[in-house]
Structure 1
Amino acid sequence: MSLNLLTDNELLALLRDDDEQAFRELYDRYWYKMYVIAHRKLRRKEVAEELAQELFVMIWQKRESLRVINLQAFLGVSLKNLMIDYIRRNIQEEHYLDQLQQFFPAETFATMEAVQLNELSEAIQNTLAKLPEKTREIFILNRFEHLTIREIAQRLNLSEKTIEYHLSRSTTFLRQNLRDFMTVWVLFLLS
């Protein structure tokens, strides 16, 4: 049976039964559209990719309990909520940095920023070292050498979906590990 001929509702029914191919079809159908919407609103490629990926991770995780009548509307509302959460987190981080700057002279803050940058760089290197070799390689090619997903796929002879998977996995892993690092740093500054 060709899944691309099925309706969204038929694919969702298959998805509830753990059909990975149905999920892949929905992903192929809507991931790029969700990415474009997020990119248009946030103007940040990496964040848009991450939020679109997070949306589909959430769909997979909630597949058994997902009851959706209009998938496109559900995706749009869910993506909007993810973007709002992202914006809120960034506003809070910027607010904390503004508050910190009021308590320290500019020279002290510049020195602290340099120390923090060195520590963050070290934390990134240590965290990258914990990733599987292929995931780490793909992350470095994308984030440090600025290759596109297509360029990486061609260079490594892998599918673009495989590259997207590895990038999603690495960014999620880094965000989780570096969030702890940043929390400790902020707590240290505030103590």
Structure 2
Amino acid sequence: MSLQSLSDNDLLSLLRQDDEQAFRELYDRYWYKMYVIVHRKLRRKEVAEELAQELFVMLWQKRNSLRVINLPAFLGVSLRNLMIDYIRRHIQEEHYLDQLRRFFPTAVMATSEAVQLNELTEALQHALAQLPEKTRDIFILNRFENLTIREIAQRLNLSEKAIEYHLSRSTLFLRRHLRDFATAWILFYLI
């Protein structure tokens, strides 16, 4: 029997039994549809490909625990959540880059300083992307949105000790990953 003739629910049952061919059939059925949805909303081909791919990676990783009744609806909601997370990360990145630009206006700087700032900004962005999401969010709230530990704890419903832990962790990580920059005085301002 061909897998193409099976219903989504039959394919999901096979998927729960680690059937890679069933996964492949679901992927072939829905990947492009998910890609189109993201591409229409975000208008970025690479992001659409990445988020559609991430959706199916999640489907495979959670195959044994998923209890899905309507696969297209499940995929749509999951994809919407991935897009929201992407947009939230993108907005946060833009926000802290704006903060850096405001603190260090490039019009006043010499060319070499502007280049160094751009390199530092890229390195900071790359290093922040490597942090776990909660740690990164707490760092951004504290350093770029100027919230106190108490305010962050209340907003995220965490203890102040947990916030301190995440700030300490992010600070050490960033110091380690950004120590090669000659503009250490910028780091001391940020950290």
TM-score (norm 2): 0.63
Match of 1:179? Answer: 129
Superposition map of 1:17-28 within 5 A:
17-28=17-28
Superposition map of 1:28-47 within 5 A:
28-47=28-47
Q: Letter of the aligned partner of 1:53 in structure 2?
A: Q
Q: CA deviation at 1:69?
A: 0.3
CA contact (8 A) 1:35 1:48 kept: yes
Count of residues in correspondence between the two structures = 138
CA contact (8 A) 1:4 1:25 kept: yes
Give the SS at the match of 2:69: coil
CA change 1:60–1:119 in 2 (3 A) is same
Q: CA deviation at 1:103?
A: 1.1
Match of 1:127? Answer: none
Identity of aligned residues (%): 69
Superposition map of 1:1-191 within 5 A:
1-106=1-106, 107-108=108-109, 111=112, 114-115=115-116, 179-180=129-130, 184=177, 188=187, 190-191=190-191
CA contact (8 A) 1:101 1:109 kept: no
Deviations 1:49-92 (A, max 9, x none): 00000000000000000100000000000000000000000000
Structure with more of its chain in helix, by fraction: 1
CA contact (8 A) 2:97 2:121 kept: no
Deviations 1:95-148 (A, max 9, x none): 101111121132449655533666899x8xxxxxxxxxxxxxxxxxxxxxxxxx
Gaps of at least 5 residues in structure 1 are 124-175
Which structure would you say has the larger Rg?
2
Deviations 1:4-45 (A, max 9, x none): 000000000000000000000000000000000000000000
Which whole-Å CA distance do the structure 2 matches of 1:190 and 1:109 have between them?
Answer: 21
Q: Letter of the aligned partner of 1:103 in structure 2?
A: F
Match of 2:166? Answer: none
Which whole-Å CA distance do the structure 1 matches of 2:113 and 2:13 have between them?
Answer: 54
Q: Runs of 4+ in structure 1 displaced over 6 angstroms?
A: none
CA contact (8 A) 1:34 1:79 kept: yes
CA contact (8 A) 1:38 1:48 kept: yes
